Structure 1
Amino acid sequence: MTVPKPRDADVADVVDATDSPSGAEETVLGRAYRALSVGIVSVVLLIAFEATAVGTAMPVAARELDGVSLYAFAFSGYFTTSLFGMVLAGQWSDRRGPLGPLAVGISSFGAGLLLSGTAGVMWLFILGRAVQGLGGGLVIVALYVVVGRAYPERLRPAIMAAFAASWVVPSIVGPLAAGTVTEQLGWRWVFVGIPALVVLPLALALPQIRRRAAGPVGEAVSKSFDRRRIRLALAISLGAGLLQYAAQDLRPVSLLPGAVGVALLVPAVLGLLPKGTYRAARGLPSVVLLRGVAAGAFVSAESFVPLMLVTQRGLSPTLAGFSLAAGGGTWALGSWVQSRSRFEAYRERLTTVGMLLVAAAIATAPSVLIDSVPVWTLAVAWAFGCLGMGLVISSTSVLLLQLSAPAEAGSNSAALQISDGLSNVVLLSAGGAAFAALGGGTVSHTAAHASGSHPAAFAAVFLPMAGVALVGAWVTTRLREL
């Protein structure tokens, strides 16, 4: 796909270090980019800490607020509003620059945390999570646009690798830190403590974003929002919420909200994703599709790993969580590998290798259902799977920016994130329904074992997801136009 060359007026907005004599020696931590890089990476770091910590504090919060029956909606509330935020951020960034959605997104993210952390009833807690999700959707897309505008193409793989590395420490330390805070100070401090920490990263990043990436790109960019896309964004959020609700309740009466959810989702997805995504058309559509396939298969499988280790092999929840800890490091390693300039010519091959590693890891996971197979087998397999994800996720981000005209970076980044998030809910819903139908049972937060969990229920999740990952390996052969 040939990206239109920006006009002279656009070049001033999309800063490229190669325009200066010293640009060839500049790095993401060089003098020109240091404040911006540290600022935006710190924002990602704090979001990563929040994401890994909330799962630890959530069960305690739900019990204290007498809202265990609404527990799942605390997660789905975040997800559904984040989808709308992604589309809104794409529109906003393309028409007026990423500074506005980034500032509003971080403010909403912090306000949602404070609302949840001070809630006295569960519905108010869920509302806070929804506000937080809207902010998270705005932030993630705006950050992609900042990278596309403020960094030259040769530095983008490095900053994407830095984003991935920002999840390493939180994935290892986050649950332990959140558990300690919850036990010593109370679950509310896990939520209300983070907003204050965002001030310093914002102080570093916002002036640089205003200088390097503010404003629309191109004279022809419309100042008005595309109302049709906004309506589709609302439809995709509502449809995703209804589909999640139906998947959590397998009674026949749930078929109605499930059908309405699908009816809303299908036309919205077709309208918001690049034309040809569903059939893996070469170029940008396949990049967007690959992101969804990879993220959906991996996240859906990983969600059941701790449950399987606790219920089938008798591990404590802490040990089950730590069995995945090495994955944060190997994920960052994969992202670092794809950022090396020597591998740029082989990026598509790297994504193929990555998806094969993901498929192998997911297919290996249910082997620990056999008592003679050591539990550490899964930890090793998952480390290789995370290595593959590091290769794929960062590469899709880099390819998306390469294949996007400057004025389309926001909308295309939103499409990438929608593919990521929507595939998570669809495949998680499918996996959860299969798990429950085959006697998966439920797990309490205090019991070491679940009642009624059948090994076949776990196999019904992992093996289909391995097949989805293999489909992703085929999609990697279509990332470039002939």
Structure 2
Amino acid sequence: MAGTAAPAPSASESEDAGVFSRAYRSLSIGIFLVILFIALEATAVGTAMPVVARELDGVSMYAFAFSGYFTTSLFGMVLAGQWSDLRGPLGSLTTGIATFAVGLLLSGMAGSMWSFLLGRAVQGFGGGLAFVALYVVVGRAYPERLQPAVMATAAAGWAIPSVVGPLAAGAITEHIGWRWVFLSITVLLLFPLALVLPKTRRLASSTAEADGPGPLDLRRIRLALALSLGVGLLQYAAHVSSWFSVVPAVSGAALLVPAVLGLLPQGTYRAARGLPSVVLLRGVAAGSLIAAESFVPLMLVTQRGLSPTLAGLSLTAGGLTWTLGSWVQSRPSLEPYRERLMTACMVVVAVSILALPSVLIEAVPVWSVVVAWALVCFGTGLVTSSSSVLLLQLSAPEEAGANSAALAISDGLSNVILLAAGGAAFAALGGGAVTHSTTVASGSHPVAFAAVFLAMAGVALVGVWVTTRLKATPVVRGRCEI
């Protein structure tokens, strides 16, 4: 059958094997390093961007360095889902990493802001291909009992860059030059590629790779293009300060809505039981965290007088607790309680986000934000990794690619939508303009911050309800009852 996974290691080889046992060691290390280096670039680029924009005379196009990456990554995610389901993840993973490296080279050697933006767009497409393919690799190469531990390993790949990425990028930008923030990672990607590809071919390939390619679903390709174009138009409209912004905004929404309905599992928008709720929960958890995170340093700088460096450091503990949350969900003894843990963690996330604006009261110590944010990231780390585990459990091998793409789309879209909604509410209530440089007028009204965090806590509470709908009694694996 086209989606049948390759034979797993023999019983004697895999008996009592762990993620870093002989059977899986090189693949696990390779997956960790691929995520580590891509995440390192993602966390470092924000530090380097002010210098990049100034030297390339592209301050007016600053935001597109971020939105361009996200827009092309959406198309890469959908394409990777189809590619992996039809041919196995090897081709998508190889192409994704290679394309990401080409994008890094283009960005690092850019002579103008336009060529830099092209490099960022190429990076986004490659990143979308690689990340979805890695989910499929995990689903095919590892037995179900090891998948939670692999997700915990992947989470650690994001946590380390969140702590050291901005500091390393700042040092490289200041002493060597911003171009090496991009060029150095290109070389580093060669090592994990050599570890991942041989094991992927042996453990995660499918018979479809030998039988020849199956037909692409052209409808999904068209929907993916509409999704990327719609998101791009909406983000462009957000940066146009005139009545003309209505035109790209309406056009983007007209493309985006049918594309989302066609690409996500049926019933996602109403939290149908099983897989649709897993996909929806991923977006709710990720979006509420990202939208809240964007305003924490801003609040500390403008309302409590912290320096940007100290305000940014207030978030670093979250990277460690995120990894801790992901590790907790990987404990085999907790597997029977996974859904209950996810419910409890979304409650913790909602309450902790709600506690963040308490720092607006002068008598409340600033360190309380560090504690609250650490709890937010612990809960979200557990829920995010658990949603990946549940998705693989609910997906047949031939559906893992499309379902993983849906999970990634839900994650990315919610980030954009909730951040845009939070920014609009913030500005409407006297907060001022929000930019990637987190610069805002010092007279921002405290109510604007409180409103944003209250809204994101409400989103997290919706996630509490969604966690009660994760279980289903599927007749066929990968199809959930509605």
1:374 maps to amino acid: P
Q: Deviations over 1:338-364 (max 9, x none)?
A: 000111011101111121111112111
2:194 maps to amino acid: A
Q: Structure 2 vs 1, CA of residues 255 and 446 (structure 1 numbering), >3 Å: closer, same or farther?
A: closer
Match for residue 324 of structure 2 among 319, 333, 337: 333
Match for residue 121 of structure 1 among 90, 112, 130: 112
2:441 maps to amino acid: A
Q: Tell me the distance in 2 between the aligned counterparts of 1:166 and 1:474.
A: 30
Identify the residue that residue 342 of structure 1 maps to in structure 2.
Answer: 333
Aligned length: 473
1:40 maps to amino acid: I
Once the two structures are TM-superposed, the CA of residue 244 in structure 1 deviates from its matched residue by 1.7
Match for residue 145 of structure 1 among 128, 136, 149: 136
Match for residue 279 of structure 2 among 280, 285, 288: 288
2:285 maps to amino acid: A
CA root-mean-square deviation: 2.0
Q: What SS does the corresponding residue of 2:329 show, helix, strand or coil?
A: helix
Q: Tell me the distance in 1 between the aligned counterparts of 2:434 and 2:198.
A: 48
Once the two structures are TM-superposed, the CA of residue 24 in structure 1 deviates from its matched residue by 3.1
Once the two structures are TM-superposed, the CA of residue 149 in structure 1 deviates from its matched residue by 0.5
Q: What SS does the corresponding residue of 1:158 show, helix, strand or coil?
A: helix
The answer to whether residue 69 in structure 2 is matched with residue 78 in structure 1 is yes
Once the two structures are TM-superposed, the CA of residue 450 in structure 1 deviates from its matched residue by 2.9
Q: Tell me the distance in 2 between the aligned counterparts of 1:221 and 1:427.
A: 42
Q: Deviations over 1:73-110 (max 9, x none)?
A: 11000000000000000010001111111111111111
The answer to whether residue 168 in structure 2 is matched with residue 177 in structure 1 is yes
Match for residue 95 of structure 1 among 77, 86, 92: 86
Q: What SS does the corresponding residue of 1:32 show, helix, strand or coil?
A: coil
Identify the residue that residue 298 of structure 1 maps to in structure 2.
Answer: 289
Judge conservation of contact 1:288–1:415 (CA < 8 Å) in 2.
Answer: yes
Q: What SS does the corresponding residue of 1:194 show, helix, strand or coil?
A: helix
Identify the residue that residue 477 of structure 2 maps to in structure 1.
Answer: none
Once the two structures are TM-superposed, the CA of residue 124 in structure 1 deviates from its matched residue by 1.2
Q: Deviations over 1:18-54 (max 9, x none)?
A: x614533101111110111111111111112111111
Q: Tell me the distance in 1 between the aligned counterparts of 2:14 and 2:438.
A: 58
Judge conservation of contact 1:59–1:445 (CA < 8 Å) in 2.
Answer: no
Judge conservation of contact 1:287–1:479 (CA < 8 Å) in 2.
Answer: yes
Identify the residue that residue 404 of structure 2 maps to in structure 1.
Answer: 413
Output aligned runs, 1:327-476, within 5 Å. Answer: 327-442=318-433, 450-476=441-467
1:153 maps to amino acid: E
Q: Tell me the distance in 2 between the aligned counterparts of 1:381 and 1:300.
A: 15
Judge conservation of contact 2:298–2:438 (CA < 8 Å) in 1.
Answer: no
Identify the residue that residue 247 of structure 2 maps to in structure 1.
Answer: 256
1:109 maps to amino acid: F
Deviates more, 1:119-128 or 1:73-82: 119-128
Match for residue 209 of structure 1 among 197, 200, 208: 200
Normalised by the length of structure 2, the TM-score is: 0.94
Identify the residue that residue 3 of structure 1 maps to in structure 2.
Answer: none
Once the two structures are TM-superposed, the CA of residue 258 in structure 1 deviates from its matched residue by 1.1
The answer to whether residue 119 in structure 2 is matched with residue 163 in structure 1 is no
Identify the residue that residue 217 of structure 2 maps to in structure 1.
Answer: 226
The answer to whether residue 15 in structure 2 is matched with residue 24 in structure 1 is yes
Deviates more, 1:272-281 or 1:298-307: 298-307
Query: Structure 1: which 5+ residue stretches go unaligned?
Result: 1-6
Judge conservation of contact 1:444–1:450 (CA < 8 Å) in 2.
Answer: no
Judge conservation of contact 1:93–1:145 (CA < 8 Å) in 2.
Answer: yes
Q: Tell me the distance in 2 between the aligned counterparts of 1:475 and 1:291.
A: 10
Q: Tell me the distance in 2 between the aligned counterparts of 1:450 and 1:302.
A: 19
Once the two structures are TM-superposed, the CA of residue 451 in structure 1 deviates from its matched residue by 4.0
Q: Tell me the distance in 1 between the aligned counterparts of 2:201 and 2:317.
A: 37
Q: Structure 2 vs 1, CA of residues 220 and 440 (structure 1 numbering), >3 Å: closer, same or farther?
A: farther
Q: Tell me the distance in 2 between the aligned counterparts of 1:443 and 1:277.
A: 30
1:398 maps to amino acid: V
Match for residue 105 of structure 1 among 88, 91, 96: 96
